[in-house]
Structure 1
Amino acid sequence: MQTIRTAAPPVAPLLTGGLADSLFETASRDPGLPLIARRPDGATDTWTQVSAGELRDEVTGLAKGFVASGIQPGNRVAIMARTRYEWTALSLALWSVGAEVVPIYPTSSREQVRWILSDADCAGVVVEDGQGAMTVGSVCAGLPRLRHVWQLDDGGLEQLAEQGSSVPEATVDSLRRIVLPDSTAVIAYTSGTSGRPRGCALSHHGLASPCDTLLAGWAHTTAPEGVQPAVLVFLPFSHVYGLMIQGLCLRGGMLMAHEPELREEILGDDFLSFRPTFLYGVPSVFEKIYKNFLIRAQEAGQGALFERAVRTAREYALAVERHRLERGHGPGVDLRLRHAFFEKAVYRKLRASLGGRVCGAVSGGSPLHRDLALFYAGIGILVHDGYGLTETGGGITAQPVGREKSGTVGRPLPGVDVRVADDGEILVRGPSVFQGYVNDELGTRTALRDGWLATGDIGRLDTEGYLWITGRRKEIFVTNGGKIVAPAALEELLRVHPLIQQAVVVGDNRPCVGALITLDPDFVRHWRRGRFDQGDASDLSAREENALREEVQRAITAANSRVSRPESIRVFRILPEPFTVAGGLLTPSMKLRRDAIAQRYEVEIDAMYQSARAVRRGLPAVDTSMSWDDTDDVFRRVR
């Protein structure tokens, strides 16, 4: 069993109160410091700033309203809303009176909402709109402890503040001061990829610890010297990663803007108008940005130039990485000249499309593909890949500044220990590890073993102490030939191809590894435009179909080149539509519901293997490009 123990103590002081204290301390010290950027009603490209003093005053008013409504220390109140300013104000107000926040994804199903409100025993819930109110209303008959439903777009916050107008501010101040670091701040529910979500109790200290450690060691990377860091927050606060970003901004005095919509055209406008200095995202966000770069270049007739620029960026970043890790001399003269040319011709334009001020980024949620990380580093945006869980209150590893290694999730944060068990499972220990699962003592005892959290993730520690993530323990399967396969790495390789949006690798108790592929509708439309001369419609459709299959086959061949032959994908099928949260095949945090996907597409999976067997009877080897039914029309949902 290999262990990496950080001998140095945490670089940040321990929290002495609750999470709301950071706002009140900042407002007392520098009341005019801008903390929030908001859009005026109806505006799309202008932002107004909310100072620390203004935010404190609004939070105090909401906290007084909660007191008047009977919310007491230890009560739990759910917030079921997208990433917006009110989420931040409400969470700070609840923490100010010692209440516990229960985040719920607004896209959650009726049954999921019922389960979380019941399991957490919530006294109240804040919903965003009438749809949310209807969802809660349909289940509240079975929730006798639920006393309040506040609706944001129906004046709920104004009514709450009005209700608390007669409550003295000293009452809020007294309640805030008795909040202890070990008091529970959040009950964060897991994504529930293989069963009901479980509520993780996270303390104020547990949520603050990774934020304070990261701010102490990495804050200087979030903006140029003398510039206030600016962060556009678009990840959901219903996920612990989003909560950690909020904590970093509030505790680090960063300017935070909220964006509830994840549509690329809206984010693109936000980048240009808000001009963030640092990005926090998940791999799919960075994949989508890259695809948009590629689409724009090809539409401008600069596709070949862009591809050369991409190769140069990766080569340059790899040479720089080898130099900083003391494994090489850095970029040579020819490579520096090529990089300088593309800096003027391509890279600075790409950065300008993100607002022109982004100097770095962090990717989390799942590993970022190494080639993509090298591309971003090569164009001047170093993306740090980190690692954390709901049960750890956020990040537990990060890339050491000046010693970043693409493809890994970095090294343990100061104060955190990481161990890899003999079976490959990652175990962690540190100040941010959760207090336990709500109403699940057995689950808590199973996850916490002698102070170590069993993460359920599989990985390895290299000789320099960097952590590599292989996949999830529960996702690993065994083919009927006895080959053990971790699907995550293969899926990550497939998603690098611009046409592929999602991939699910299958093969449990099957003769070989297979894959279900969904396509990126936007890139498919771009791919089709002008690709073929107009002619007979049926002939055109057939040629497009064959060309598409060839493109997907090339992506699979490229992925297979990175793994052993028994692990390689031998059969595949393109599905007619992407997996969605609404369709029940993705969790609200965009993770694959593998069991649900396997059940939904059981017929397609069986047919995929039957086709392969039919081909094998006539040929000496499996040819995945021939394992299709001729009647498949993969374009019928993406035209």
Structure 2
Amino acid sequence: MRNVALAPAVTPPFTGGLADSVFETADRNPTLPMLARRADSTATGWEEVTAVEVRDEVVDVAKGLIAAGVSPGHRVALMARTRYEWTVFAHALWAVAAEVVPIHPAASRDQVEWILRDAGCVAVVVEDEQGVMTVGTVCARLPLLRHVWQLDAGALSALAERGAVVPYTTVESLRRIVLPDATAAVVYTSGTSGRPMGCALSHRGLAHPCDTLLTGWGHTAAPAGEQAAVLAFLPFSHVYGIMIMLTCVRGGILLGHEPELTEAALASALATFRPTYLYGVPSVFEKLYKNFLRAAQKEGRGALFERAARTARDFAAAEERRRLGTGPGPGLDLRLQHGLYERTVYRRLRAALGGRVVRGTSGGSSLDRGLSLFYEGIGVYVHDGYGLTESCGGITMQPLGREKSGTVGRSLPGTEVQVADDGEILVRGPSVFQGYVGDEAATRAALRGGWLATGDIGRLDSEGYLTITGRKKDIIVTSGGKSVAPALLEQRLRMHPLVHQAVVIGDDRPCVGALITLDPDFLTHWRAALRLQGDVTGREAREENALREEIARAVASANSAVSRAESIRVHRVLPEPFAPENGLLTPSMKLRRAAVVRHYAAEIEAMYQARSRGRRGPSETAEWDEPDDVFR
């Protein structure tokens, strides 16, 4: 077992609760823009709300909660998209010593009922009539549930009116009794297998990674002299989103809210809000890259973009070697090429992100090293972050001036990381959760002598940089006994412009296989760019053959990153994407692997049977040497 000793935490002692930062910022800098929202769904402009205005609204809602009977220790669910009211409501609940229970607004009726019952919620905040209907179908089986408040029906105003008779001093007295180790939120795991479990997270635990990042890295979130600005668009129902929200509120970073997760809405929000720091999951950064490529190809500049992208990666890799002391940095020719593309390509790409982004963070799963180098090369350093619900989010960060792409950096000051003999990552520190609500056995299994067993596998290098290689439960064991971590193969597959999603399979099978979905936008563009001639029937056949060849190239590229025994030998392209709506993705966009395997059991069986029928010879093992291109 290896452990890397780290410097002590540099943050000031944490006292009180999470709501305090709203009040303290309002006292210290009342006119500071704190939150931003669109006036309506069609507006392009943003309405900024100052610190004192946010505090006053938080107080008004808190008074309404008190009048409605919400007391310290009560749990209230927030079931809404990423919007301004979510942030206000959460801080109002913390101001009265209540606990937040986030629920994804697209959660099924059964999921909503389970979380509301398991957490013992006394109230739930929903977004619209659909949310009211979902809760309404299960509320008869929830005896503790007393209130359903609807944001689109003016819940905040109604609560403020109801609480008008409650004195301000009552809110203050409740806010001041909140202790750092009191539970602030019960955040449910994504539920990639089995029922989601509620993780009890303390005020101190949630604040620690935020304050540590602000202390050590906050000055890098914006150009010198500018207020940092972050656009929130990932769900606040996930700890990643909550961590971003709290970092902004606690650090005086302007937080914009974009509830729509569509590509058009995000592009518009980036262009009009103009964040200085960009965060997302790998699929967001992959999609942005593919959009850059597609736009360049439409303008007849595809070859130019690909040369510029290659130069960006080479330049960033050379810079990385320089800062790590393993190389001299970019040579003259590379600097000249990079300077040329800066004028002709890179600044246009940064303009598409709003023109002010200087850095970014990817979390949720591993970011491809080549993609990280690409963004660094165009002037927007995007690092891969690591954390989980049970750790209140952030565990690691890239040390400034010593960033190493392809890793998730080093553990935050005050947090310790070990890698056990079997490769499992163990974490200890103030952000580790209090336990699973109502499940002592699961809590004991996760917390071993003060260390959180993350379920992730990885490795630490000699300098303490952590690389995530997969999840223990995701390891594939073929019928020949070969253990394969699917994450790297899936990551490499997704880097092909035509590939949207990939799931690597192969448990108890003679070889590794893959299920692939296609990016619909890039597929449309690719078809148009083919310009195949001839009759319709012949053209369709040639188009399908060309598509087979492209996917085969994607598979070959992925296979180049692993040994022959670990490589993909069969694959199938599926007709529809994995999505939360079909139960194949979690609300936080993580794969439900077991559900995917069950859903496509017939296709998987046919894929392997087709491959088997196509082989001859007495040796079963030797027959799986070349990749197949089973296509649907």
TM-score class, shorter-chain normalisation, is over 0.9
TM alignment of 1:182-201, pairs within 5 A: 182-201=181-200
1:5 deviates by: 2.3
Q: Deviations over 1:320-376 (max 9, x none)?
A: 000000000000000000000000010000001111110110111111100000000
- Correspondence 1:614 to 2:613: yes
Match of 1:98 in 2: 97
- Correspondence 1:527 to 2:529: no
- Correspondence 1:360 to 2:362: no
- Correspondence 1:155 to 2:157: no
**Partner Cα distance (2:579, 2:135) in 1:** 22
- Correspondence 1:261 to 2:260: yes
Match of 1:501 in 2: 500
Q: Deviations over 1:458-484 (max 9, x none)?
A: 000011110000100001121011100
**Partner Cα distance (1:255, 1:147) in 2:** 35
Preserved contact between residue 279 and residue 360 of structure 1 (Cα < 8 Å): yes
**Partner Cα distance (2:487, 2:60) in 1:** 47
1:623 deviates by: 7.2
**Partner Cα distance (1:139, 1:30) in 2:** 45
Match of 1:635 in 2: none
Q: Which amino acid aligns with 2:630?
A: W
Preserved contact between residue 14 and residue 205 of structure 1 (Cα < 8 Å): no
Match of 1:628 in 2: 630
- Correspondence 1:549 to 2:551: no
Match of 1:237 in 2: 236
SS of residue matched to 2:184? strand
Inter-CA distance 408–546: structure 2 relative to 1 (3 Å threshold)? same
The structure 1 segments of at least 4 consecutive aligned residues displaced by more than 3 Å after TM superposition are: 618-627
Preserved contact between residue 84 and residue 260 of structure 1 (Cα < 8 Å): yes
TM alignment of 1:121-160, pairs within 5 A: 121-160=120-159
- Correspondence 1:5 to 2:13: no
Inter-CA distance 626–243: structure 2 relative to 1 (3 Å threshold)? closer
- Correspondence 1:249 to 2:251: no
Match of 2:27 in 1: 28
Q: TM-score, normalised by structure 2?
A: 0.98
TM alignment of 1:361-510, pairs within 5 A: 361-510=360-509
SS of residue matched to 2:582? coil
SS of residue matched to 1:529? helix
User: Structure 1: 5+ residue runs without aligned partners?
Assistant: 633-639
Preserved contact between residue 82 and residue 234 of structure 2 (Cα < 8 Å): yes
- Correspondence 1:223 to 2:231: no
**Partner Cα distance (2:38, 2:503) in 1:** 39
Preserved contact between residue 510 and residue 624 of structure 2 (Cα < 8 Å): no
Preserved contact between residue 358 and residue 381 of structure 2 (Cα < 8 Å): yes
Q: Which amino acid aligns with 2:399?
A: P
**Partner Cα distance (2:458, 2:215) in 1:** 27
**Partner Cα distance (2:535, 2:383) in 1:** 50
Inter-CA distance 316–627: structure 2 relative to 1 (3 Å threshold)? closer
TM alignment of 1:57-136, pairs within 5 A: 57-136=56-135
1:519 deviates by: 0.5
SS of residue matched to 1:74? coil
Match of 2:293 in 1: 294
1:161 deviates by: 1.1
**Partner Cα distance (1:60, 1:302) in 2:** 54
Q: Deviations over 1:549-602 (max 9, x none)?
A: 110100110111110111000000000010110001111111111111101100
Q: TM-score, normalised by structure 1?
A: 0.97
**Partner Cα distance (1:141, 1:591) in 2:** 32
SS of residue matched to 2:615? helix
Preserved contact between residue 511 and residue 624 of structure 2 (Cα < 8 Å): no
Inter-CA distance 627–316: structure 2 relative to 1 (3 Å threshold)? closer
**Partner Cα distance (1:505, 1:626) in 2:** 14
**Partner Cα distance (1:322, 1:628) in 2:** 41
Preserved contact between residue 569 and residue 628 of structure 2 (Cα < 8 Å): no
Moved more, 232-241 or 531-540: 531-540
Inter-CA distance 583–494: structure 2 relative to 1 (3 Å threshold)? same
Corresponding residue pairs, total: 629
**Partner Cα distance (1:57, 1:481) in 2:** 65
Q: Deviations over 1:67-90 (max 9, x none)?
A: 000000000000000000000000
Inter-CA distance 165–308: structure 2 relative to 1 (3 Å threshold)? same
Match of 1:15 in 2: 14
1:156 deviates by: 1.7
1:48 deviates by: 1.6
Match of 1:636 in 2: none
Inter-CA distance 302–166: structure 2 relative to 1 (3 Å threshold)? same
Match of 2:318 in 1: 319
TM alignment of 1:168-187, pairs within 5 A: 168-187=167-186
Preserved contact between residue 568 and residue 627 of structure 2 (Cα < 8 Å): no
Q: Which amino acid aligns with 2:398?
A: Q
User: Structure 2: 5+ residue runs without aligned partners?
Assistant: none
1:614 deviates by: 1.5
**Partner Cα distance (2:504, 2:5) in 1:** 34
Match of 2:564 in 1: 565
Q: Which amino acid aligns with 2:168?
A: E
Inter-CA distance 220–425: structure 2 relative to 1 (3 Å threshold)? same
1:487 deviates by: 0.8
Preserved contact between residue 116 and residue 142 of structure 2 (Cα < 8 Å): yes
SS of residue matched to 1:458? strand
- Percent of aligned pairs with the same amino acid: 67
